[in-house]
Amino acid sequence: MTLQEAIEARHSVRAYKELPLAEDVVKVLKEQIAVLNIPHRV
């Protein structure tokens, strides 16, 4: 298989649940996003 064939054949399968994230998880994610954005001044 060539690289081009692999790119064309690629597909993703994802399954999502309709459950909200816990508040503590959201807080941690937001904190980490802020830390990671500091070097880029975003």
What share of residues in the chain are helix, strand, coil (percent, to 5)?
A: 60, 0, 40
The pLDDT of residue 12: 82
pLDDT tier, 11 (very low <50, low <70, confident <90, very high otherwise): confident
Alpha-carbon gap, residue 32 to 26, rounded angstroms: 10
The pTM score is 0.53
pLDDT tier, 31 (very low <50, low <70, confident <90, very high otherwise): very high
Q: Across residues 5-25, what is the average pLDDT?
A: 91
